[in-house]
Amino acid sequence: MRLSLLDLKEQYKQLEEEILPAVTQVLASGQYVMGTNVKSFEEEIAQYLGVKHAIAVANGTDALFLLFRALGIGPGDEVITTPFTFFASAETISLCGAKPVFVDLRPDTMNIDEEQVEAAITPRTRAILPVHIFGQPCAMDKLQQIADKHQLILLEDACQAIGSSSQGKRAGTLAKAAAFSFFPTKNLGGYGDGGLIATDDDLLAQDLRLLRLHGSKQKYIHSVVGQNSRLDEIQAAILRIKLRHLDSWNQRRRELADRYNQAFADLPLTLPLEITGTHVYHLYNLRSPQRDDICSYLEDKGIATGHYYPLPLHLQEVYRNLGYREGCLPIAEKTCKTVFALPLYPEMTRQAQDYVIQTVQEFFA
């Protein structure tokens, strides 16, 4: 048996009858960018999230970058974030001219350690960008208290966490504003790039709508320098369909994760813990000092594994100038050396999961 980390072809097979007519309709409509599907998608996802404004953009990276721009974050400013995330979280801070400041992780959830955030605040700090890594929200109530105390803007990188929640509210509605990605591998993924910003702030939403469209409210009249960050109609039509399946897919991910957790409970593995919010298992990650041996064993048996992420951001070459050295953020560094992902996706069969479970158990037998 050969198993990949996720199976987008199988998902498409199951959705083909819904997707094809919607795409054909867009093709026949002659309206391909920011049309009625984008408008409806924005309304539907705003309702799903429980937020006033949903602003569709070209990808998750733009969602973050536009947010920083709209908030006026730039040269001389610092933004506190996690070193254990996809590069875009920090890249967009740098792109707008600000400096990313990295804070170590909680060892249990692998999210930013809210207890260490306050010590990283300086007079230049403007915002905190926690990332709900792998699909579990960060401890947002504690982070909000810190943000309020120091008059900082609290944001969310919710790119991996659509559909998760904390204290009855969806991820993406737990701070001033949030960024989402619809990259194909995400829990809600298009068949191309896509992104979204969610916020309850009317003025911020207005600015974001301007910025994503060349700073223009009225065609060919420009009030600010914006950019081109639009979602296309085909992606919006696809995402509208997929959004209707999201909760059942996330539920299925949770069931599969539960089954893995039960099967691995007695093995010398660090299991994912669900403590600061509902986990939607964008990725199912284990940790072990024997990670490399386990992964080669699984790969030899046809089971794909993933390393998210092999190198923390504070040790990346591009950030050498920030002055971090090995040992600065020990939990993040250790996590990168021990973490590995197993196949988990809503369409995964019981038989496929049994094969993974048996193979992991065999390794330790």
Ligand X SMILES: Cc1ncc(COP(=O)(O)O)c(C=O)c1O
Interacting residues with ligand X (CB under 6 A): 59-61, 85-86, 88-89, 131, 157, 159-160, 181, 183, 193, 195
**Residue 202 amino acid letter:** D
Q: Are 194 and 188 in contact (CB under 8 A)?
A: no
Closest contact distance (angstroms) between CB of 87 and ligand X is 8
- State the Cα–Cα distance between residues 46 and 240, nearest whole angstrom: 12
Q: Which residue number, 85 or 165, has a Cβ lying nearer to ligand X?
A: 85
Q: Which residue number, 131 or 329, has a Cβ lying nearer to ligand X?
A: 131
Closest contact distance (angstroms) between CB of 101 and ligand X is 17
Closest contact distance (angstroms) between CB of 262 and ligand X is 28
Would strands 284-287 and 339-342 be described as parallel, antiparallel, or unpaired?
Answer: antiparallel
For residue 309 the two structure tokens come to 């992420």
Q: Which residue number, 160 or 276, has a Cβ lying nearer to ligand X?
A: 160
Closest contact distance (angstroms) between CB of 92 and ligand X is 8
Closest contact distance (angstroms) between CB of 249 and ligand X is 17
Q: Which residue number, 56 or 131, has a Cβ lying nearer to ligand X?
A: 131
Closest contact distance (angstroms) between CB of 306 and ligand X is 13
Q: Which residue number, 135 or 346, has a Cβ lying nearer to ligand X?
A: 135
Place of tokens 């915002």: 127
**Residue 87 amino acid letter:** F
Q: Which residue number, 183 or 264, has a Cβ lying nearer to ligand X?
A: 183
Q: Which residue number, 171 or 294, has a Cβ lying nearer to ligand X?
A: 171
Closest contact distance (angstroms) between CB of 64 and ligand X is 6
For residue 162 the two structure tokens come to 């659509």
Secondary structure of the chain as H, E, C letters:
CCECCCCHHHHHHHHHHHHHHHHHHHHHHCCCECCHHHHHHHHHHHHHHCCCEEEEECCHHHHHHHHHHHCCCCCCCEEEECCCCCCHHHHHHHHCCCEEEECCECCCCCCECHHHHHHHCCCCEEEEECECHHHCCCCHHHHHHHHHHCCCEEEEECCCCCCCEECCEECCCCCCEEEEECCCCCCCCCCCCCEEEEECCHHHHHHHHHHCECCEEECCEECCCCCECCCEHHHHHHHHHHHCCHHHHHHHHHHHHHHHHHHHCCCCCECCCCCCCCCCCCCEEEECCCHHHHHHHHHHCCECCECCCCCCHHHCHHHHHHCCCCCCCHHHHHHHHHEEEECCCCCCCHHHHHHHHHHHHHHHC
Q: Which residue number, 298 or 315, has a Cβ lying nearer to ligand X?
A: 315
Q: Which residue is nearest to ligand X (CB)?
A: 60
Q: Which residue number, 59 or 250, has a Cβ lying nearer to ligand X?
A: 59
